[in-house]
Amino acid sequence: MTDRTSWEPLRRELDRWQAAGRVARFWLRDDDAIEPTPDLERLLASSGENEVPLTLAVIPGLTGEALAARLAEEAGVSVAVHGWSHTNHAGPERKKQELGGDRPAEIVLGELGEGVRLLQRLHPARFLPVLVPPWNRIDATLIPALPDLGFTALSVYGRARQGGPIPLLNTHVDIIDWHGTRGGRSEAELVAELVAELRDRFAGSDEPIGVLTHHLVHDAAAWDFLSALFTATGRHPAVHWSAASALLKP
């Protein structure tokens, strides 16, 4: 594991898991993929070298053949549906939302259906029928229609409440400081969040821990944290980085 003292709380918590003979499940979701970029190359290299399966939330309305060609040989990468065009349709006083009630449901669902068909065609071996709503927001009235569009799961942010019309595979630790620097968050703060998630799982929850990244806005702090996280968890016997497809199997 990394020698940095800020990672000591995570080291202690994982050692507790190991002593109890338990293994924590982690998964990695990266949002807003559109096309090949140097930052995407860096993410693919880092996750690949550390054998961390990666789910890319791809924006269907903005992507095309270039990304499909780049990902064709990336066996450890899956592609999820990131809305349609990542366009905010909410009013000026409301939180940003593409999949909301500001437009007729048939239009929103029509776009999502087109997104499924497009990404399935572009990434036949990598496609994962999971909806990742832009800004992690979706109007609750749309969710029951998702299975009919071909979706098998929904992925937003926060602890999942199961028992709804579609399974949830959520993320829980976002490494970006959206309300401040819009770069990587403090390492100590992120480690504390990971430890809190692990303690919740140790106490009884079986929900996988989702780490959320956004390669297009990563600064040095974000890349450093991700590298340190992979180092801290990669060889620890109490951690298993899982593919999203494996986590969704019954």
pLDDT score recorded for residue 1:
45
> How many domains is the chain partitioned into structurally?
1
SS3 49: helix
Q: Is the whole-model pTM more than 0.85?
A: yes
Q: What is the mean pLDDT of the chain?
A: 95
Cβ neighbours of residue 12 under 8 Å, at least 6 residues apart? Answer: none
pLDDT tens for each residue of the chain, 250 residues long: 455 789 999 999 999 999 999 999 999 999 999 999 999 999 999 999 999 999 999 999 999 999 999 999 999 999 999 999 999 999 888 899 999 988 999 999 999 999 999 999 999 999 999 999 999 999 999 999 999 999 999 999 999 887 789 999 999 999 999 999 999 999 999 999 999 999 999 998 899 999 999 999 999 999 999 999 999 999 999 999 999 999 998 7
Closest CA to 80 of 63, 62, 109, 59: 59
SS3 242: coil
121 Rama class: left (phi>0) / alpha (psi -120 to 50) / beta = alpha
Instruction: Give the residue numbers spanning the domain of 61.
Output: 5-247
Run of H or E including 219: none
pLDDT score recorded for residue 3:
52
pLDDT score recorded for residue 250:
73
Cβ neighbours of residue 116 under 8 Å, at least 6 residues apart? Answer: 81, 129, 149, 150, 151
Q: What is the distance between the alpha carbons of residues 63 and 66, in angstroms, rounded to a whole number?
A: 8
pLDDT score recorded for residue 91:
86
* CATH number of the domain encompassing residue 206: 3.20.20.370
pLDDT tens for 69-106 read: 999 999 999 999 999 999 999 988 889 999 998 899 99
Residue at token pair 């995407």: 40
Other CB atoms within 10 Å distance of the CB of residue 142: 19
Cβ neighbours of residue 3 under 8 Å, at least 6 residues apart? Answer: none
User: What tokens were used for 15?
Assistant: 């050692």
